[in-house]
Chains A and B, each alone.
Chain A
């Protein structure tokens, strides 16, 4: 009875095409989808998809049983396990900040999961373990490998991105699995969470064969509570599904800097998702160095939008898929980007903050982790929090930690170090470092490699062991001051991080993951030892046993068989002694 009524209600609501705004207020959930195309300085192009479902219902309180646009699997998860915020990212590749600029939202290579729990949760570790198991089933990823050996509790980084009452960091858990592979089996369930699936709207462009033939592919799910309106007295829940992909200039672009939707995705946009209230494509046509535009887009956009993103003024060509004029001329929309004049390689802008990390040293006993953080702002200094999680089998020596800026030692204003416990907990190092203007800061720490037990090695130990990316959180000073804008009116890619102060913007960067070789034993040795020991024992003991217990007695020679007797007869004739 109830099921039938729900089905009928759904049919009724979907069939109600016009009068969408009124119906939406009644329905309390809305979907906005957006695609941002930004050409990068090196000739590659980055495409960021965002699908945002906002639901004006409180998932924590009350028994919500009617799910419409918000996926039931995630809604039940939030309600049952007392999750306040959930961020899961699966990434293949690395975002090269130095060449590509600041990313809108970066994620480390592999799988990253960080969750804030509600204060009502009593056993956070148990809820964390259950959560990672359930998510591993939903997203077909090996998130069940998240346990205490790779989970840390950061104290200063990863503050909540949604509404927060207090920030007791004991309710936060962070884990990263750098070895995790991302492939079509992770994309398939991610696409199934979208209200229109991959059948209509912007999601028709998401075909695995093109998405994974790229330099960087990152798909993420973010769930957080947000303000329902300007007065912020009630809570709405927001689910953002983001997918960022960078198509390579040489591999996908075939060496030409002209891009189009068809060249990138081998598909074009034909219609919109009927469940979406907003569906837009933004193309970054910002001029560099205040000159005229370098980029030409076709067909003509429905509007041009200027906004301040990451502290800089940017111009976007907007294609509103819901406006009727867009599909007037042709059934499909294929946005094309052409460069008006060839670009100078000397014009490549350098981002204000970027970092790199590498392993130094030689041999299989010791080594050194070096992190270099660059502040290229000409006159402003700003602080950055560095969070490093190092697995227990690389034993860090904290007394060798040195931070050097411009030749002098730089003492961090805040250090939190939690040493590792073998097989139980990883190292956690969090530091708040002030970066002076126009400088390079070098952080080095030495480590020793441990010898694991024979059964703890993975089936391919000669590949090496991964150390997850370190996280840099910083408030970078803006070039242009930002004004506070209404979240609902501004594009989705500007409202990822809640901004409080217009003079600086928050950015979270990740460094490269490291691959270190541990001293690997020869796994055939147990077999060799058993064989050798058994042989030695058999030969020695066997010989002694024989000598001690063998008795000798004389044996009568046998008469021999027929052949021998005949031979003896012939020998007698020859005069030779018999056998």
Chain B
């Protein structure tokens, strides 16, 4: 018995040691495996952003400032203009009521100009309508639309959709003349899912009763944030006495302050974004919805949606460029010269204009009424005088 115990304990110790070694070995072996998993963690290859401001008129300055501050953050974190669809329903920067033209401020005392010097607005003024917004999302766009106005996402795109304006329980008002309902929005997202137009979608809305807009979503891989619950109003932050209007909404103001801390290599995750703007600062209760989202929000980086972080592989191969430029210039095709000299047109050829022949109107066959009238006249004539007179006519 005394011999068995030390034997058993020795065996146990050996087993424990083997297990430890095995674990170490496994850990070492799964190093590259882990790294590979980390590399493809998020599953997206490109980022898009659709930023919509739906309000018109000068007193809705804050909605344009909201949208532009998100635009500014998204551009700063790397998403290029070609991947951003910016829709502003009114022009505040060059509005005649703006005391400082070509600027839109987000902080009072004109601290931060979110309009900047390098802004490209894709849909402006009257083009921001519910129809255009849904066409951008679903991709059902007329063929002559230029590229900068299209959302050319694929099934590996992460899309950020930000909307702001005036809203109510279940709808969002566009430009004081039409609305989009939460059902329409949910159906649009389902169309996007069925056409595989997104990998993951983050929907942020800053309006009154914003949570009602994400109640009806039913497509997978959507995470939604709103600035207020149903029955609550989203409030604006601070007015600027020089400009005369409220500059930002509270929720977006604190989101902007949060995003200013983010840089492309941040590891901040979505849970931190959910904590932005507690009730003490925002007065309304921000809400979020993650049940349709497959990953854990703790593991979703902010830069997965707000930035455009590219995975780069550094290679050690060398490429050699051939210095063959001799035959390049001769690529211009030989041009035939004109036989007689070309000339410029006269800007005001008075004589030619006065004697311009009037445009010959295209001959149209006579319409129904005239034809009927003539037919009646001819029939009456021949009925009165008999058919034998026809040879005199022709």
- Mark A residues whose CB is within 8 Å of B: 1, 4-6, 8-9, 12, 26, 28, 57-58, 61-66, 92, 129-130, 133-134, 136-138, 140-142, 144-145, 155-156, 159-165, 167, 179, 181-185, 188-189, 207-209, 211-213, 227, 231-235, 383, 385, 413-414, 432, 458-460, 473-475, 497-498, 500, 506, 523
**Residues of A contacting B346 in the complex (Cβ-Cβ under 8 angstroms):** 159, 500
Interchain CB contact under 8 A, B338 and A162: no
17 interchain pairs (CB within 8 A)? A65-B331, A138-B146, A142-B126, A144-B145, A145-B127, A159-B345, A160-B344, A161-B347, A165-B342, A184-B116, A209-B101, A209-B117, A232-B342, A234-B337, A234-B338, A414-B353, A432-B353
For the complex with contacts A144-B127, A184-B102, 19 further pairs of A-B residues with Cβ separation under 8 Å are A4-B321, A8-B325, A61-B333, A65-B331, A129-B144, A134-B146, A137-B145, A159-B345, A161-B345, A163-B343, A183-B102, A184-B93, A184-B119, A188-B120, A212-B102, A233-B337, A413-B354, A432-B350, A475-B350
The answer to whether B322 has its CB under 8 Å from any CB of chain A is yes
The answer to whether B32 has its CB under 8 Å from any CB of chain A is no
**Residues of B contacting A460 in the complex (Cβ-Cβ under 8 angstroms):** 56-57, 176
Cα distance, A395 to B188, chains bound together (Å): 42
The answer to whether B76 has its CB under 8 Å from any CB of chain A is no
The answer to whether B332 has its CB under 8 Å from any CB of chain A is yes
Interchain CB contact under 8 A, A212 and B347: no
- Shortest Cβ distance from A136 into B: residue: B146
Interchain CB contact under 8 A, B341 and A142: no
Interface residues of B in 313-359 (CB under 8 A from A): 321-325, 328-329, 331-333, 335, 337-338, 341-350, 353-354, 356, 359
Cα distance, A66 to B333, chains bound together (Å): 12
**A459-B353 contact in complex given A133-B146, A207-B117, A234-B335, C-beta closer than 8 Å:** no
**Residues of A contacting B146 in the complex (Cβ-Cβ under 8 angstroms):** 133-134, 136-138
Interchain CB contact under 8 A, A63 and B333: yes
**Residues of B contacting A500 in the complex (Cβ-Cβ under 8 angstroms):** 344, 346
CB distance from A319 to the nearest CB of B (A): 26
Cα distance, A161 to B346, chains bound together (Å): 9
Interchain CB contact under 8 A, B175 and A459: yes
Cα distance, A63 to B334, chains bound together (Å): 11
The answer to whether B148 has its CB under 8 Å from any CB of chain A is yes
**Residues of B contacting A57 in the complex (Cβ-Cβ under 8 angstroms):** 332
Interchain CB contact under 8 A, A130 and B144: yes
Cα distance, A458 to B103, chains bound together (Å): 26
CB distance from A24 to the nearest CB of B (A): 13
CB distance from A523 to the nearest CB of B (A): 8
The answer to whether B187 has its CB under 8 Å from any CB of chain A is no
**Residues of A contacting B102 in the complex (Cβ-Cβ under 8 angstroms):** 183-184, 208-209, 211-213
Nearest first, the 4 A-B pairs at minimum CB distance are A137-B146, A62-B333, A183-B94, A498-B344
> Of A155, A182, A231, A475, which is within 8 A of B356 by CB?
A155
**A140-B122 contact in complex given A156-B353, A383-B348, C-beta closer than 8 Å:** yes
> Of B103, B118, B342, B348, which is within 8 A of A474 by CB?
B348
The answer to whether B124 has its CB under 8 Å from any CB of chain A is yes
**A156-B356 contact in complex given A134-B146, A163-B344, C-beta closer than 8 Å:** yes
The answer to whether B391 has its CB under 8 Å from any CB of chain A is no
- Mark B residues whose CB is within 8 Å of A: 56-57, 91, 93-94, 100-103, 115-122, 124-127, 144-149, 175-177, 321-325, 328-329, 331-333, 335, 337-338, 341-350, 353-354, 356, 359
Residue from A207, A213, A459, A475 with most neighbouring chain B CB atoms (10 Å): A459
CB distance from A150 to the nearest CB of B (A): 13
**Residues of B contacting A6 in the complex (Cβ-Cβ under 8 angstroms):** 328
**Residues of B contacting A385 in the complex (Cβ-Cβ under 8 angstroms):** 348, 353
Interchain CB contact under 8 A, A140 and B120: yes
Cα distance, A12 to B125, chains bound together (Å): 45
Interchain CB contact under 8 A, B144 and A497: no
Interchain CB contact under 8 A, A188 and B117: yes
Cα distance, A110 to B72, chains bound together (Å): 27
Interchain CB contact under 8 A, A137 and B347: no
**Residues of A contacting B147 in the complex (Cβ-Cβ under 8 angstroms):** 137
- Shortest Cβ distance from A63 into B: residue: B333
Interchain CB contact under 8 A, A181 and B94: yes
Interchain CB contact under 8 A, A140 and B124: yes
Cα distance, A136 to B124, chains bound together (Å): 11
**A137-B94 contact in complex given A5-B324, A159-B346, A460-B56, C-beta closer than 8 Å:** no
Interchain CB contact under 8 A, B348 and A137: no
> Of A134, A141, A163, A184, which is within 8 A of B342 by CB?
A163
**Residues of A contacting B93 in the complex (Cβ-Cβ under 8 angstroms):** 183-184, 212
- Shortest Cβ distance from A384 into B: residue: B348
Cα distance, A184 to B337, chains bound together (Å): 43
**Residues of B contacting A185 in the complex (Cβ-Cβ under 8 angstroms):** 119-121, 124
> Of A5, A144, A159, which is within 8 A of B348 by CB?
A159
- Shortest Cβ distance from B335 into A: residue: A58
CB distance from B112 to the nearest CB of A (A): 14
Interchain CB contact under 8 A, B126 and A181: no
> Of A9, A212, A497, which is within 8 A of B325 by CB?
A9
CB distance from A125 to the nearest CB of B (A): 13
CB distance from B347 to the nearest CB of A (A): 4
**Residues of B contacting A179 in the complex (Cβ-Cβ under 8 angstroms):** 125
- Shortest Cβ distance from B323 into A: residue: A8
Cα distance, A155 to B121, chains bound together (Å): 36
Cα distance, A182 to B125, chains bound together (Å): 11
Cα distance, A65 to B349, chains bound together (Å): 38
Cα distance, A145 to B116, chains bound together (Å): 27
**A167-B345 contact in complex given A133-B144, A414-B356, C-beta closer than 8 Å:** yes
**Residues of B contacting A64 in the complex (Cβ-Cβ under 8 angstroms):** 332
Interchain CB contact under 8 A, A182 and B94: yes
Cα distance, A144 to B124, chains bound together (Å): 11
CB distance from A107 to the nearest CB of B (A): 16
**Residues of A contacting B57 in the complex (Cβ-Cβ under 8 angstroms):** 460
Interchain CB contact under 8 A, A137 and B149: yes
Interchain CB contact under 8 A, A160 and B348: no
**A459-B347 contact in complex given A5-B328, A66-B331, A234-B338, C-beta closer than 8 Å:** no
**A506-B122 contact in complex given A26-B329, A414-B353, C-beta closer than 8 Å:** no
